[in-house]
């Protein structure tokens, strides 16, 4: 039986102790390992020593765990007495221990024997030897980040832009004790808490920001949207409750109603005295608003519209504020008068009295517990021949006279429908921006925790920050760059919208559809990456990431399903391309031929084709051209495929359906090109300096990541060759490392107040009451 005493009695054998321990460390010795050790012993050791050694080489009677532990301690205790110069390989260590034990004949022959054993074991000797030296330094969970070259406050000002005042106001507001975030509340208590906090926001004047000054507001859609965006750092249930009450309910009355509606309703809505909702979605029709089933038929004798839910599929579904708190709704229904239908219109419809009791003909059902956003009281609505006064038709774009005569300043029904929906685009813009803000909270927590958290490392040395591992960097750094990219895209979209309020905004509406889709997907995926990169701590509700991940999930659905929105954008792009052809066929064709010739020259240029240097692969020109090429290629090829089908007699709807995946790819490509353009424009607007350099590093990473992600398409279309694609992949890793160097400072620049971050984002997180 193996016993350590049999080894330590013979100084010559003690030289074998480090190798024997390592040999048995995996629990088994292979036959060739036993043979190598025995051969070395026979050649260089006396027979008595061989007998003692054989007791440690019997695979049928391996050393017990207790004996192995004693052997480890024996080696470690003696290793601790050695000078640093003697701590080399296992052979060096064994020879030094033997000398300590009194082996004066520790010569070249014994050393050769040990080296033969070491070779037979096939180990990284110097690396393994470290395990026998001093204990690993104590774990330190503190920041050891280099000083960033840029000023964090200056970068925050860059991000805040012209709306620094709104951002600072919200930063101060979210740490107000009245808005404290409470985790794990039952649904009823959670809803009550969110309602109380909505009242706080109302007291601060946030609800009426976008309403006319005559109704107590500031007539600033821009300030309301920016405030909504900034509140994305807080509880998303409160953000959505705010959006339902003031953006959707109040916004519909402000944008679709006339001045009499404004005067009568907006003051109470802005003060939170009249809570309501936005009843558009139906069980059978979510994205397809044009074909809603709810009917509002005008009764000229009584001077009222009769609002009715004609089928189960016509019930209003997922309506915020419907289950409990809403006293009125803006209901979208098919308007019928004098026997004719005039399409979907909006009506102001009370559903509860002042005591909260449902009004006659109105039925409500609570949607119940959801994946997230359980502070919002979503409900279902049915209307059983509810009478709605004629004056409660929101009549900015259409009116019905007492005798039932229908009139509209927009003669074309289709244009009237889209004009009406276009006024509500602010909600789509807001949702995308708030999703980016939510991702900032998750990323700031995960990246700060990654810098603090230490795992693994060389034997005998301090454990390494997980954020220093390339795999961890490549999971988080692209999303950090993406948060910056989508932040600037959201700011650009808001500026465009504000500058063109009251004008034809169809192009902005289409762009908003695409930007919302990619921004909310960014929010979902960035939160998921942050959750995974924090391990179990990311799963803990207290650290906020998991709750953000659950709450932001539905952002991909409300204000328009993301895939449907991308198809809407694709149709707009294709319509614009077709119009360009019809307006100037020759000019468009010549331009297309010129573009193709230019691209052909670029692609055939052997110098350009083979450039794999970092300067080229990181350049904005290369990224812009590559993204533009993809968008244009997908646009022209999609148009060609559609024309081929319609020329063959296929219905336009069927033709579009057949190339639907192509159109979705086109829209995504267009938005990514647009996001890059916004990012680049924001950078070029900055003065030369460290802030600009840091932003450029982020832009380069985001662009390289997007090209690398879609590298298959570029290879298929011969825009990149294999060598260049490989160089791009390698550069992606290096650029992630470059951004990581100042990643903590970059997330600090988001300006997320400390109480909005999870406890794991701070050096003392292990001592937090809920984590200790």
Whether the pLDDT of residue 523 is over 60: the answer is yes
Q: Give the separation between CA 257 and CA 193, rounded to whole angstroms.
A: 31
Check residue 419 and give its pLDDT: 83
Cα 632 from chain centroid? 27
Instruction: Write down the pLDDT at residue 63.
Output: 78
Q: What is the CATH number of domain 276-413?
A: 2.40.110.10
Section 415-432 average pLDDT: 88
Residues with Cβ within 8 Å of residue 222, at least 6 apart in sequence: 163, 494, 495, 498
Which is more confident, 76 or 547?
A: 547
pLDDT band at 139 (very low <50, low <70, confident <90, very high): low
Q: Are strands 379-383 and 362-366 parallel, antiparallel or unpaired?
A: antiparallel
For the stretch 716-726, pLDDT in tens is 999 999 999 99
Alpha-helical segments (H) within 553-613: 562-583, 585-604, 606-610
**CA atoms 290, 295, 297, 302: torsion sign:** negative
Span 26-64, pLDDT tens digits: 667 777 777 777 777 666 566 656 777 777 777 777 778
Specify the range with the lowest mean pLDDT, choosing from 287-296, 352-361, 545-554, 570-579.
570-579
In whole angstroms, give the CA distance from residue 772 to residue 754: 19
Helix (H, G, I), strand (E, B) or coil at 612: coil
Rg (C-alpha) for the chain, rounded Å, is 34
Q: Annotate 59-93 with three-state secondary structure.
A: CCCCCCHHHHHHHHHHHHHHHCCCCHHHCCCHHHH
Q: Give me the CATH topology for the region 427-761.
A: Butyryl-CoA Dehydrogenase, subunit A; domain 3 (1.20.140)
Distance CA 739, CA 746 (A): 9
pLDDT the model gives residue 74: 83
What is the reported pLDDT for 682?
98
pLDDT of residue 463: 82
Of the pLDDT bands very low, low, confident and very high (cuts 50, 70, 90), residue 109 is low
Q: What integer is the mean pLDDT of 656-673?
A: 97
Least confident span in 134-138, 331-335, 549-553, 715-719 = 134-138
Q: Quick one: pLDDT band at residue 581, thresholds 50, 70, 90?
A: low
| Helices (runs of H) and strands (runs of E) counted in the chain | 33, 13
Q: Which residues have C-beta within 8 Å of that of residue 48, sequence separation ≥ 6? A: 10
Q: What is the pLDDT of residue 459?
A: 66
Q: What is the pLDDT of residue 43?
A: 62
Mean pLDDT of 606-612: 69
Provide the token pair at 43.
Answer: 């050649």
pLDDT digits (tens, 9 = 90+) for 455-466: 887 766 778 899
Euclidean distance between the first and the last CA atom of the chain, given in angstroms as a whole number: 45
pLDDT in tens, 379-400: 999 999 999 999 999 999 999 9
- Quick one: average pLDDT of 5-30? 73
Residues 6+ apart with CB under 8 A from 640: none
With CA atoms as reference, report the closest residue to 690 among 157, 149, 147.
149
CATH 1.10.540.10 range(s) for the chain read 152-270
Q: Which residue has the higher pLDDT, 584 or 742?
A: 742
Instruction: Compute the distance between CA of residue 287 and CA of residue 557 in angstroms, rounded to an integer.
Output: 9
Q: What percent of the chain lies above the pLDDT cut of 90?
A: 68
Which of the 8 DSSP states describes residue 247? Answer: I
The pTM (predicted TM-score) of the whole model is 0.86
What residues does CATH 1.20.140.10 cover in the chain? 427-761
Tokens of 577: 């391309």
Q: In whole angstroms, what is the distance from residue 542 CA to residue 183 CA?
A: 7
Distances (CA, A) of 294 to 207, 251, 306, 412, 414: 29, 21, 10, 22, 19
- Confidence tier at 301 by pLDDT (50, 70, 90): very high
pLDDT digits (tens, 9 = 90+) for 82-91: 776 666 787 7
Q: What is residue 89's predicted lDDT score, i.e. its pLDDT?
A: 80
**Residue 241: pLDDT above 90?**
yes
Closest to 174 (Cα-Cα) out of 109, 235, 99: 235
pLDDT tens track for 530-571: 999 999 999 999 999 999 999 999 999 989 999 999 999 999
Average pLDDT for 216-245: 95
Domain 152-270, CATH class in plain words: mainly alpha
Calculate mean pLDDT across residues 748-759: 96
Start and end residues for every CATH 2.40.110.10 domain found in the chain: 276-413
What's the confidence (pLDDT) of residue 116?
74
Instruction: Report the SS3 class of residue 561.
Output: coil
Residue with tokens 């026979």: 42
Pairwise pLDDT comparison (423 vs 3), residue with the higher score = 423
């Amino acid at each position: 039986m193996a016993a350590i005493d049999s080894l330590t009695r013979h100084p010559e054998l003690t030289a074998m102790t480090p190798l024997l321990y390592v040999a048995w460390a995996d629990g088994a010795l292979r036959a060739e390992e036993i043979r190598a050790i025995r051969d070395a012993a026979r050649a260089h050791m006396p027979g008595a020593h061989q007998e003692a050694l054989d007791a440690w080489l019997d695979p049928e009677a391996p050393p017990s765990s207790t004996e192995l532990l004693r052997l480890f301690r024996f080696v470690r205790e003696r290793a601790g007495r050695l000078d640093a110069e003697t701590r080399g390989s296992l052979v060096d260590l064994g020879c030094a221990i033997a000398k300590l034990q009194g082996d004066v004949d520790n010569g070249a022959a014994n050393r050769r024997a040990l080296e033969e054993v070491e070779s037979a074991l096939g180990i990284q000797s110097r690396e393994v030897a470290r395990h026998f030296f001093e204990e690993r330094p104590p774990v330190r969970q503190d920041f050891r980040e280099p000083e960033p070259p840029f000023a964090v406050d200056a970068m925050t000002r860059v991000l805040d832009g012209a709306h620094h005042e709104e951002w600072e106001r919200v930063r101060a507001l979210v740490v107000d004790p009245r808005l404290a975030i409470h985790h794990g509340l039952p649904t009823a208590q959670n809803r009550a808490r969110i309602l109380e906090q909505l009242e706080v926001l109302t007291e601060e004047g946030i609800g009426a920001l976008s309403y006319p000054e005559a109704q107590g507001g500031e007539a600033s859609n821009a300030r309301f949207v920016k405030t909504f965006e900034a509140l994305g750092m807080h509880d998303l249930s409160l953000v959505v409750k705010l959006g339902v009450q003031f953006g959707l309910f109040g916004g519909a009355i402000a944008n679709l109603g006339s001045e009499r509606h404004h005067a009568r309703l907006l003051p109470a809505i802005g003060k939170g005295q009249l809570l309501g909702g936005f009843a558009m979605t139906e069980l059978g029709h979510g994205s397809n608003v044009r074909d809603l089933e709810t009917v509002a038929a005008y009764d000229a004798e009584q001077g009222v519209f009769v609002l009715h839910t004609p089928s189960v599929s016509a019930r209003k579904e997922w309506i915020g504020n419907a289950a409990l708190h809403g006293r009125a709704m803006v209901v979208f229904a098919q308007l019928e008068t004098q026997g004719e239908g005039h399409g979907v219109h909006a009506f102001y419809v009370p559903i509860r009295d002042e005591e909260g009791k449902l009004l006659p003909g109105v039925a409500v059902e609570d949607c119940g517990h959801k994946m997230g956003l359980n502070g919002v009281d979503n409900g279902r609505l049915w209307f059983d021949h509810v009478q709605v006064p004629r004056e409660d038709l929101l009549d900015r774009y259409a009116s019905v006279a007492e005798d039932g005569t229908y009139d509209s300043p927009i003669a074309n029904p289709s244009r009237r429908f889209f004009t009406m929906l276009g006024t509500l685009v602010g909600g789509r813009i807001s949702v995308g921006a708030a999703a980016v803000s939510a991702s900032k909270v998750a990323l700031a927590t995960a990246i700060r925790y990654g810098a603090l958290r230490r795992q693994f490392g060389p034997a005998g040395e301090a454990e390494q920050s997980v954020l220093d591992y390339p795999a961890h960097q490549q999971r988080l750094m692209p999303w950090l760059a993406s948060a910056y990219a989508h932040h600037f895209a959201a700011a650009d979209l808001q500026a465009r919208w504000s500058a063109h309020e009251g004008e034809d905004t169809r192009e902005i509406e289409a762009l908003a559809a695409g930007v919302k889709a990619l921004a909310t997907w960014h929010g979902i995926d960035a939160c998921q990456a942050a959750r995974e990169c924090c391990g179990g701590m990311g799963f803990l509700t207290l650290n906020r990431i998991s709750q953000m991940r659950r709450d932001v999930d539905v952002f991909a659905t409300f204000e328009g399903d993301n895939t449907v929105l991308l198809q809407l954008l694709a149709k707009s792009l294709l319509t614009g391309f077709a119009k360009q052809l019809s307006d100037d066929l020759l000019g468009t064709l010549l331009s297309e031929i010129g573009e193709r010739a230019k691209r052909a020259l670029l692609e055939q240029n052997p110098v350009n084709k083979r450039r794999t240097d970092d300067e080229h692969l990181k350049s904005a020109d290369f990224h812009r051209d590559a993204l533009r090429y993809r968008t244009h290629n997908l646009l022209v090829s999609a148009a060609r495929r559609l024309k081929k089908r319609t020329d063959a007699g296929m219905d336009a709807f069927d033709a579009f359906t057949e190339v639907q995946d192509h159109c979705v790819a086109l829209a995504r490509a267009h938005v990514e090109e647009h996001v890059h353009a916004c990012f680049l424009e924001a950078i070029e607007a900055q003065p030369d300096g460290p802030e600009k350099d840091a932003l450029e590093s982020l832009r380069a990473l985001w662009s390289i990541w997007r090209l690398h992600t879609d590298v298959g398409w570029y290879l298929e279309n011969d825009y990149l060759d294999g060598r260049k694609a490989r160089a791009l992949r390698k550069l992606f890793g290096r650029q992630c490392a470059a951004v990581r160097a100042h990643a903590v400072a970059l997330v600090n620049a988001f300006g997320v107040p400390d109480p909005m971050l999870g406890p794991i984002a701070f050096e003392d997180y292990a001592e937090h009451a809920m984590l200790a």
